[in-house]
Structure 1
């Protein structure tokens, strides 16, 4: 045996039984409107391409992830947008699916579409839109809104409305991060609400967590909203990775050792997730997709030790970044613009574009107004707000 082959044999394997992966044919590869198979692309590869070419996907470039600037500063191109965040989630998700032997093209499609339903101004905008809808007995859920986008609002094909995505992708859109009750959402009956989604979909929520935990620390430090000593003192996962970076690169500039720590932190989270999924599959004796769906709990998870570190990092980001005093101005402005614009359109529906006004009869005014606002980019909603206030 050669040294190279001995080295390969000694490396841990994370690949799962082949039958756990979603196949490229069968029920989950079906579409609402039947289409002939493509000559050289799987159904899920086609789904990923359809999302990538969608107008709603392009608009993610103009939607906030956490911030585009700190209060009082000029905007910068360095911080993540909702689009760049989506691309980072996609890279992480592809890595996980490849290592675990899952359906990589389905995983990629799910990652690309997972944030399609977010409104402008990040989570502050989503909270404001949900608050505005509550007065009308409704609510805003970005997963359900993403489903509306891909099944109705995107118009690119002469044969049908929407993108006509496969059942697996549509199920993953609504279930990758949330379990819906069948009695509360009868309109979602076709999406197996009594079962967990496939592992490809389960992984998206945690790939999302990994991406934003590491990226938001990175952006927060880069913006000066977070201080290095503060992060080291409060986030043990980062501190351990930063110590290792300093030990290996003692003469490197501080910015580079910080970047090295973020990279190591991301790698630690991904590796732990792979190992824990493999452990749970083995412990449960799970060998089929049906068993994944009927398991007692979701199988995609971090180990207990890493979950504690992840939760600690998330609490830190909420306390010191997302809900920090410096972000209050940003959140207040988002609420003012979103809720103010909502009320203006509710009072005068003629301000809506014609293609939205015609939907009022079937969708109701409040939902139609919401659909219009949710599709806006940050710049477009700011300009629309300014134009209406100038009248």
Structure 2
């Protein structure tokens, strides 16, 4: 049953560039499909969550994470009677703006860009889908609907204060009402992101040997799930036991969001999708009790995974790569791909050039960034810090289609 707060594709605020509507797909389905077929989405395959890509093929990448987020988001949206296609579009696109090397790469690029307006991955996602994907004859970007763009910009809540330049530039052309909350669909995508990474980081951390099964089995939420598996399947082999327990953790989080959000929506009784934007608080949320438990899980992951010694070594190496590439391209923009040279020639000042360089580096995959650092700066692979096969994995052909001209 469709909820009265669900986004209605027939009532969409439309696209910045007028287009004839599809005869077979709703506008939100069309957004989702354009995101899936974008160059930026494909590159997520070789961008990491926590571990650098060569650490192992089983660890999550930005692509596998985005697919998992979309699956969770569709489940929640369906249970709440929301528009699943809009939810999925926001979920699939939410990480398009991420740099190589996860949040470490973003921190390093933000520091390099500090004199030029900084760097923010959510704003960069807007920049990618509104400007940098250049496939279509009649417009730059993907020409997504207002609702999808709004969801990308503020799925984590209203955006106030000093706006990231990439977001400010687009909002000046196409008002996304940044001071309000996003649609319920975008709020679902945000919570699905939390659910997915909390669950898969536990799984990846166990696989990497950063902590033990016994330690994880003592965490809030997780403890009850392991206990249930042990009761139902005594003596189960460790890998099946882990899977059965962690899939139950997934289920607990999803069920809590659905039950809590139903209660919030019933109590607040917003009359429409637009009313959700002006409520002043989210309608999609965890219960207070589960949120407190999640803080315990996050604290554990921060200490034992995100700041683990092996991860910190990778963080330092990744920072070194970004810190080397940015000043190199600023000094030698002729080494940007041929398709970028027209934009370089049109850069009016150092800030404009810095934003081009930032776009280029942000679009890199992990291994392409490593290869370019090795090519131009003689490292970090030269001393054996990174596998040679990774440093030489790509030629310039891949990154030539990174953004401009992709």
Give me the TM-score of the superposition, normalised by structure 2. Answer: 0.87
For 2:97, the equivalent position in structure 1 comes to 117
Alpha-carbon shift at residue 50 of structure 1 (Å) = 0.5
Contact 1:357 1:368 (8 Å CA) reproduced: no
| Residues 6-40 of structure 1, C-alpha deviations (whole Å, 9 max, x = no match) | xxxxxxxxx6x722001012243x11111111111
Alpha-carbon shift at residue 131 of structure 1 (Å) = 1.1
Contact 1:68 1:79 (8 Å CA) reproduced: no
For 2:300, the equivalent position in structure 1 comes to 316
Alignment of 1:25 with 2:10, yes or no, is yes
Unaligned segments of structure 1, at least 5 residues = 1-14
Matches within 5 A, 1:104-253: 104-134=84-114, 136-181=115-160, 184=163, 186-187=168-169, 188-189=171-172, 190-233=175-218, 235-253=219-237
Write the distance in 2 (CA, Å) between the matches of 1:184 and 1:256: 46
For 2:243, the equivalent position in structure 1 comes to 259
Write the distance in 1 (CA, Å) between the matches of 2:333 and 2:157: 33
Matches within 5 A, 1:69-88: 75-88=55-68
Matches within 5 A, 1:286-365: 286-360=270-344, 361=347, 364-365=352-353
| Residues 69-105 of structure 1, C-alpha deviations (whole Å, 9 max, x = no match) | 7xxxx63211111100000001000001111100011
Alpha-carbon shift at residue 183 of structure 1 (Å) = 6.4
Which range moved further: 292-301 or 46-55?
292-301
Flag as ranges the 4+ runs of structure 1 deviating above 3 A: 182-187
RMSD over equivalenced CA pairs, Å: 1.7
For 2:359, the equivalent position in structure 1 comes to 371
Alpha-carbon shift at residue 267 of structure 1 (Å) = 0.4
For 1:64, the equivalent position in structure 2 comes to 48
After superposition, the Cα gap between the structure-2 partners of 1:352 and 1:180, relative to the gap in structure 1 and judged at 3 Å, is same
Contact 2:157 2:181 (8 Å CA) reproduced: no
Secondary structure at 2:10 match in 1 = coil
Secondary structure at 2:301 match in 1 = helix
Give me the TM-score of the superposition, normalised by structure 1. Answer: 0.91
Write the distance in 1 (CA, Å) between the matches of 2:376 and 2:71: 40
Unaligned segments of structure 2, at least 5 residues = 380-406
Contact 2:195 2:253 (8 Å CA) reproduced: yes
After superposition, the Cα gap between the structure-2 partners of 1:377 and 1:138, relative to the gap in structure 1 and judged at 3 Å, is same
For this pair of structures, how many residues does the alignment match? 369
After superposition, the Cα gap between the structure-2 partners of 1:145 and 1:183, relative to the gap in structure 1 and judged at 3 Å, is closer
Alpha-carbon shift at residue 349 of structure 1 (Å) = 1.8
Write the distance in 2 (CA, Å) between the matches of 1:370 and 1:132: 9
Write the distance in 2 (CA, Å) between the matches of 1:285 and 1:139: 40
After superposition, the Cα gap between the structure-2 partners of 1:178 and 1:338, relative to the gap in structure 1 and judged at 3 Å, is farther
For 2:267, the equivalent position in structure 1 comes to 283
Alpha-carbon shift at residue 236 of structure 1 (Å) = 1.6
Alpha-carbon shift at residue 315 of structure 1 (Å) = 1.3
